[in-house]
A and B are shown apart, each in its own frame.
Chain A
Amino acid sequence: MREGEKEESLGDSFRQSRKEFLVMVAAWAVFATWTTIYVGRNSSSEPGEPLRLVLGMPDWVVFGILIPWGFGLAFTMWFSLCFMRDTDLESISEEGEKE
């Protein structure tokens, strides 16, 4: 079977799940990059350096963690409530179940 035919033979729900899988991994990579680069570059402190506070926290916590956390929350809401598609799982007959 050629690659194109193989892809054709895949179920729609499987292909949709695979697409969602890739979007989730891509989103994770974006947030990991943001946090790692920002905090990695801005969170160390030299002796005598003044503490910069934003909302009562060190500024690197706000810009490198709290704000991306807010975006992560918003993305998760959008992804789960708007992007993800429903699949009819309840109609699947459970074959071969030992009970």
Chain B
Amino acid sequence: MSALVSFAIYLLFVFVLAAVANRVGKDKGFLKEYFLGSRTIGVWAFALTYAATSASGGSFMGFPSLIYTHGWSLAWWIAGYMVVPLIALGLMAKRINQVSRIAGAITVPELLRRRFGSSLVGNVATLMLIFFMFFYLMAQFKAGAQIMATILEGVPLYTEAVFATEALFDGVPWIGQAEGDYLLCLAFFAVSVIIYTTYGGFRAVVWTDVMQGLVMGVGVIILLVMTLSQVGGLGKATQELSKMTPPEFLDVVVEREDPDVAEEMRIPRGTWILTRDQEVIRLKSAVVVVSGEAASEPVEAIRLTSAGEISRVKESGKLLRGGFAKVSGEVETYAYGAGKPGVYTSTPGPSRDNPMGFLTVFLALSFFVFWNFSGAGQPSYMVRQMAFKNTLTLRRSMAMVAVYFSLIYFPLVIIFTCARVLLPGMEIYPDRVMPEMAQAVTSSAGMPWLAGLLVAAPFAAVMSSVDSFLLLVSSGVVRDIYQESINPKASEKQIKRLTYGVTVVVGVLGMIAVLQPPVFLQHLIVFASAGLGASFLMPMIFALYWRRTSGIAIVAGMVAGAITILSLYLVGMLKTGKFGDYPFLGLHPFIWAVMISGILIVLVSLRSKPPGNSIQEKYFGKAESDGSDPASPIGK
């Protein structure tokens, strides 16, 4: 309950910031203020809004679950972040800001449209942005709802509200199929973000990002200290990890101990059970033995295989010693790493599906490319690069983000490798390992109220991503479709109403789309990032740095990038039956998409008419807008 209070205080601050942002921006031109904060973003705001948007639900939900599942190999998986602030933030920022000012553009599609003087370029960019961004929104909504569910679990009022929600929507198509707790939390999360984003616009998003960025940083550091203290030091945890072997997946049937008892028997999900054969298993979903029946239907569970983990669960006193569960059907072992000690402290890391292991050399290299260059190609970062005040802001922000990311990402690897020791059996719902860990370490330390702050960190990460994406999609619809193609003479009042309306509608659509939540949160995030990066990275690089680039080449590059990603994901789904990519020749689809996109842009540009001299002069020449000072001392 105390965690809930801390969390509520955090949420209150978010709303206050949004209200203040709305008042500050009132006297400024609506569109440039609402979507770009009037290009007045300073160092702290720029650095933290960039970092907070980057550290999404993936960083605090999906990434921890991967570390937990695959061990130290995730340090290699995330290693590219050592230079992400340099590449993803620095590579194009100065030019994007400069070109967007020259063009008077406030959205990414508008920048491309004006740079090439082509509506086709702008319209294709808008379509790509809305399409891939929607997948991103879905993933973040799911993450937000999951965190809420963890915080509220066990609160009596919430439990009653869950039952009421289930009763209310029972039988309603689509909505009624969702679980009550998820439905309630999703609605609360989505409505909160939609309200403050719609009300406050870009400035509110940036200000709340700053607060959320600070919460994330402080949360990770506190969690790191508490985790290391409770696990007995990193060396001890790594030694313990090196003895572990992956669990097995199986179905179990629960029988009544006393067959004469007729009333319904319920065992909650997550319960640890000692089976008849003295094996330790954990239930993935709740078990119900209905009245009159002797046994339950088979339910999914995991079985621990490491002696250390088994003894820790036994010592914890959490084990239900009924002796009434028995394994039913086939037992599934990891395709790589089953029965192999050391698999969590070496590469390629254990994998449930891939007999080659989790992370091969080519895949690791792919991710080194992916984090940096896909990051550079994200429109949500590009729009921030259009908003900073001056280059001094950019330079200081790069340094600040480099420190910030180092304090976030590597510590997360340490925390969640230790989580394997502190919280065994989280394979049943790995995406919840972060909030579970926060609650576990704060309770053990006798400071349960602190869980609210720690859980606010991933929640802040999710919120700061969702608000940015909501604005991006609504700016695409209002600025790039309505104002550009439908009603160029729309009054500010009309634009304002439409902007608010579209932000709400996009948010609500995103919420409805995830009522049946996608299973693989991190896969969805990687897919959306890859799609956006593949569609925008090479087109933007060529638009900014090669004056010979033609508009039609940009369209070809965007479409080719998107089609390559979609095709390789489709192949992946056809081959495995699950949502996921197909790493052709061991490389992530993003690499192929970027290569194909880049080659096409060069070939089509060389075969098409070059842009006019006036455009070349405007964006690349010694125009009056070129404010460089070659004599400026280095390091100033």
Using a CB–CB cutoff of 8 Å, the interface residues on chain A facing chain B are: 9-14, 16-18, 20-21, 24-25, 27-28, 31-32, 35-36, 39-40, 43-45, 47, 49, 51, 53, 55-58, 60-61, 64-66, 68-69, 72-73, 75-77, 79-99
Contacts and interface: CB of A to CB of B under 8 A. Distances in A.
A18 B98 CA distance: 13
B87 A24 contact: yes
Contacts of B237: 56
A40 B360 CA distance: 8
Given A28-B83, A76-B399, A87-B627, A11 B622 contact: yes
A65 B392 contact: no
Given A24-B90, A44-B348, A81-B635, A86 B392 contact: yes
B82 A51 contact: no
Given A36-B365, A73-B403, A81-B399, A89 B90 contact: no
A72 B402 CA distance: 9
B79 A14 contact: no
A13 B98 contact: yes
Contacts of B102: 92, 94-95
A69 B398 contact: no
Chain B at the A interface: SS class: helix
30 contacts: A12-B626, A17-B95, A18-B545, A32-B80, A32-B368, A36-B361, A39-B364, A45-B346, A51-B242, A51-B342, A53-B235, A58-B72, A61-B72, A65-B79, A68-B79, A69-B410, A72-B402, A73-B402, A73-B403, A76-B399, A83-B634, A85-B628, A89-B98, A89-B390, A90-B390, A94-B104, A95-B103, A97-B106, A98-B104, A99-B492
A89 B403 CA distance: 26
Q: Most chain-B CB neighbours within 10 Å: which of A27, A53, A81, A99?
A: A99
B395 A9 contact: no
B344 to A, nearest CB: 10
A76 B628 contact: no
B98 A55 contact: no
Given A17-B95, A51-B242, 15 more contacts: A12-B630, A17-B94, A27-B86, A31-B83, A44-B346, A44-B347, A60-B347, A64-B79, A69-B410, A73-B406, A75-B83, A86-B390, A88-B390, A89-B391, A90-B389
B79 A43 contact: no
A60 B410 CA distance: 14
B87 A64 contact: no
Contacts of A92: 98, 101-102, 625, 627
Contacts of B83: 27-28, 31, 72, 75-76
Contacts of B259: none
Q: Most chain-A CB neighbours within 10 Å: which of B32, B75, B395?
A: B75
Contacts of A95: 102-104
Interface in B387-438: 389-392, 394-396, 398-399, 402-403, 406, 410, 414
Given A9-B622, A11-B626, A76 B85 contact: yes
Interface string B605-636: 00000000000010011110111111010111
How many residues of B sit at the interface, in one of the four size bands? 35 or more
B190 interface: no
B238 interface: yes
B233 A84 contact: no
B51 to A, nearest CB: 13
B114 A85 contact: no
Interface string B73-94: 1011001101101110011101
A76 to B, nearest CB: 4
B508 to A, nearest CB: 28
A24 B92 CA distance: 10
Task: Report, nearest first, the 3 A-B pairs whose CB atoms are least far apart.
Answer: A88-B627, A56-B234, A13-B628
Nearest to B398: A80
Q: Most chain-A CB neighbours within 10 Å: which of B30, B340, B345, B364?
A: B345
A24 B80 CA distance: 14
A43 B628 contact: no
Contacts of A36: 361, 364-365, 368
A94 to B, nearest CB: 4
A77 B98 CA distance: 23
B625 A93 contact: yes
A6 B550 CA distance: 17
A33 to B, nearest CB: 9
Contacts of B48: none
B355 interface: no
B75 A61 contact: yes
A55 B234 contact: yes
Contacts of B627: 13, 87-92
Contacts of B635: 81-83
A76 B233 CA distance: 31
Contacts of A89: 94, 97-98, 101, 390-391, 627
B621 A69 contact: no
Nearest to B544: A17
Contacts of B406: 69, 73
Contact of B626 (A13, A24, A35, A57): A13
B195 interface: no
Contacts of B626: 11-14
A78 to B, nearest CB: 9
Contacts of B233: 56
A1 to B, nearest CB: 9
A30 to B, nearest CB: 9
A40 to B, nearest CB: 4
A95 B346 CA distance: 56
A10 B242 CA distance: 58
A10 B544 CA distance: 13
A89 B95 CA distance: 10
B241 to A, nearest CB: 9
A69 B82 contact: yes
Nearest to B349: A43
B391 A87 contact: yes
Contacts of B392: 86
Interface in B141-179: none
B488 A35 contact: no
B238 to A, nearest CB: 6
Contacts of A65: 75-76, 79, 82, 410
A80 B364 contact: no
B369 interface: yes
